[in-house]
Amino acid sequence: MSEIVVAIYVVAYRELLRFVRERSRLISSFAMPLLFLIVFGAGFTRTIGVMAPGVDFVQFMYPGIIAMTVLMNSVMSGLSVVWDREFGFLKEILVAPLARSGIVLGKATGAAVISVIQAGVMLLLAPLVDVAITPLLVLKLVPLLILISFSLSGLGLLIASRMRSLQGFQLVVQLLVFPLIFLSGVFFPVNNVPAWLELISKLNPLTYAVDAVRQLFLAGQQGALEAIGITLFGHTMTVFHDVLVIAGFGLLLMLLATWSFTRQE
């Protein structure tokens, strides 16, 4: 157990140091979420209008943008694995007396802390888009974002464990991230699409992350949640049910990522 804790601390601390020192990464990580929020918000709010009683398009999309910010940082956490492999540092970590599971969890922990910081910056924009933020909402949101980040980090680390070049990893992530985003309900209610598209969306772990974050933001607006929420097997998902699904996906992905790392030379 002590080896796992040491590995988590060492790897997570290194990930945080790398993030702080790489200002370009700090700035670019906000580029796409801000682009979607500003361009889509300005371009479609008047066209689409009200998504549900008391909820316009920007208020509907904003929680999804928060979840998308976490997704992008979490999946890109695998980039450091590929980087370390190319420069030989990963081999040094793997031969060190550190538990492989601790290395994976350390990467995920670092990604989770960075994701919360990035989401916090995005929350500062909430008043500008007429989205209400309360201290209670933030207290509920932080542990949820940590869970989402851990779960989605497993996906990035699983991909990175099998990649040998930065270019290959970035290509695979780009091909994966955009479908995950557009099929997660960030920009449209999942229940109001053709049956085949709804089925694919409900197999997407980000769908439940977006729904959970959106429910926290729209708490108290039951009519809106009934109109734009997710139903699974005829049951409308609650935050608790979303959390269970996210945790299930996360556990599976982290186990697969850890197994993949144990097979590294």
Name residues whose C-beta falls within 8 Å of residue 253's C-beta, 6 or more positions apart in sequence: 151, 152, 154, 155, 157, 158
Measured CA to CA in angstroms, residue 262 lies from 94, 101, 175, 191, 202 at distances of 9, 8, 26, 40, 31
Reference 111, options 141, 82, 161, 146; nearest CA is 146
Reference 170, options 36, 35, 70, 76; nearest CA is 76
Instruction: Give the lowest-confidence range in 10-14, 87-91, 148-152.
Output: 87-91
* Domains contained in the chain, number: 1
**Backbone phi, psi, residue 55, to 5°:** -130, 115
DSSP annotation of 137 reads H
**Of 15 and 54, which is predicted with more confidence?**
15
pLDDT band at 17 (very low <50, low <70, confident <90, very high): confident
Report the pLDDT value the prediction gives residue 236, as an integer from 0 to 100. Answer: 79
**pLDDT value at 265 more than 60:** no
pLDDT band at 50 (very low <50, low <70, confident <90, very high): low
pLDDT band at 49 (very low <50, low <70, confident <90, very high): low
Reference 81, options 9, 177, 158; nearest CA is 158
**Backbone phi, psi, residue 52, to 5°:** -160, 165
Q: pLDDT averaged over the chain?
A: 79
Asked if residues 79 and 166 have their Cβ atoms less than 8 Å apart, the reply is yes
pTM for the full predicted model: 0.85
**pLDDT value at 182 more than 70:** yes
Host domain of residue 165: 2-262
Q: In which residue are the tokens 């992530």 written?
A: 173
**Backbone phi, psi, residue 183, to 5°:** -105, 20
Asked if residues 102 and 6 have their Cβ atoms less than 8 Å apart, the reply is yes
264: number of CA atoms within 13 Å, CB side? Answer: 28
